Structure 1
């Protein structure tokens, strides 16, 4: 089968590789759609932190952890009824034996694999993908391929909104109008919040307004409003501290963006403002909820997808190019069959 392979920093190829064979407890999924995200770009550039610890990740690497498709084969111990089922799945594959996994926290298992990211598990920028059956989530008919490949980022965004602990009418500020930030805005709007977005460029802010944000601002024009929660979904090292400055006393800041360098947060400010700070890693506990929101129509992630390309165009996308005719959204999808 064909697969996109990163062989080193800014080196890549679309190769013919051996197709996966499902092991015990596994299925093979024919990939219908996969998303390209910031983590993939960090692996492509060589800046991804996991590359500094060879037990976590090393080249060559097969990327892709936002995906959907159809089960085409099952391994020993897996019900054959899965064949033909449309699915997406969890990126975080815990060992299943440790205290964290047994407590429902497999996404922070010390020995976890991460599909297309950690431990050498091959990713979804390929025609087929092996997945443990325990990681699968069935997609209802009302969730098409575009939305299906947006479940993983949607699960992250939903978890961030849930961590913000908003009530209807509360005011939320989202830092960063990227995919996670805009999805968080959409989930918060669906829950009745007043949503504001802060970003750098007017086109991205105009796009956020078009998605329903009550306000979208550059930092110099951000109004002096009381924010009941701030979600940092960006990667600027100074924003975690700014989030604490901007949030109302007694409220919450949620960190889901990762800066390339350490960020300073003055814990004295957290204490003196009685602020709760929450970190979010992975979509795992939010996947089912994201599917429910998409299936019901409460949240539509599809406007965020600007274009769909084939495997042969992925290298250009990871290099920073946008396809001709791409829409204004931040997300690029890949159809490995194209």
Structure 2
């Protein structure tokens, strides 16, 4: 089969490799669609911290936002999975430690992440092997575009839920990339008054097209009481700004990751009596994201600017947008092309 392989910093090529075999407890999925995200880009450029700590290494096969159809099942897997459209959890815990048994497998000490860490091959390939325990079945109303948006959707839903906001309370989302916009969409379905802050008016255009009329730059941001602030950016200065802006005794949610260390003064955190929450992974949000996409309470399709074939993936990772791309922040890959 064909698969994208990262062979070193800035080096990616489509290779012909042996297709996966369904090991006991696993299935093989024929991949329909894969999203490219910032983590994939950092793995390609060599900037990803995992490459320095030894959690990831080259050669590496990326891709962790995906959907497809189960084409083979291994020993011990119910045959009813055959032919079903699925997505899967990126985070694969050991399954038997205290964290896994308590439902916190996404922070298991032996964690392997599909397409990211511990040598677990990713979905930028024609086929992917996945443990059956990580699978989530997709209803017919969730098409491939939405199916490959479920991993970021699960992250975004967790961030929206973590605010603890009630109907009509005011949320500020910092960042208008995929996670920022998805978080805003999920928060809006929960009844929050959602505002977004972006870098410039061009970056806010899609937010406004999605119905978020309260979309601001830093200079135009009104002096309102923010009941919760979510940092969904990659800017190292915004975590501190989130803490500065949030109302005392409310919440800041940190889901964005900067390329360099960000700082905030914990004295401000304590003296404002603010609760800070970190979000890692979409595991606990996948089922809710599937339901929201399926009943159309969240329509995220416009976040995808273009879908290209596997051979164009290296260009996408290098920062080149397809010439016919729309305004959305996300590029999808169809490995069948």
- Please say which of residues 214-223 and 93-102 is displaced more in the overlay: 214-223
Report the counterpart of residue 11 of structure 2 in structure 1. 11
User: Which residue of structure 2 lines up, in the alignment, with residue 330 of structure 1?
Assistant: 329
Partner SS, residue 221 of structure 1: coil
**Distance in 2 of aligned mates of 1:252 and 1:109:** 26
Look up the match of 2:180: 181
Paired residues, number: 337
> Superposed, which structure 2 residues align to 1:1-338 within 5 Å?
1-54=1-54, 56-338=55-337
Cα displacement (A) at 1:26: 0.1
CA distance in 2, matches of 1:88, 1:301: 16
CA deviation vs aligned residue, 1:104-126 (integer Å, no higher than 9, x gap): 10000010110000100100000
Query: Distance in 2 between the 1:220 and 1:62 partners?
Result: 41
8 Å Cα contact 1:195-1:214 kept in structure 2: no
TM-score, normalised by the number of residues in structure 2 = 0.99
Q: Gapped runs of 5+ residues in structure 1?
A: none
Post-superposition shift, 1:201?
2.7
CA contact (8 A) 1:199 1:205 kept: yes
SS in 2 for 1:81: helix
Q: For 1:293, what is the secondary structure of its paired residue? A: helix
CA distance in 2, matches of 1:286, 1:269: 30
How many Å apart are 1:214 and its aligned residue? Answer: 3.2
Secondary structure of the residue aligned to 2:141 is coil
* Cα deviation 1:87-137 (Å, max 9, x = unaligned): 000000000011100111000001011000010010000000000000000
SS of residue matched to 1:219:
coil
| TM-score, with length taken from structure 1 | 0.99
Q: CA deviation at 1:205?
A: 0.4
- 5+ residue gaps, structure 2, are none
Could you tell me how far 1:250 is from its partner in structure 2? 1.3
Shift of 1:272: 1.3
CA contact (8 A) 1:70 1:84 kept: yes
What is the CA distance between 1:212 and its match in structure 2? 1.7
> How far off its partner does 1:216 sit?
1.2
Counterpart secondary structure, 1:236: coil
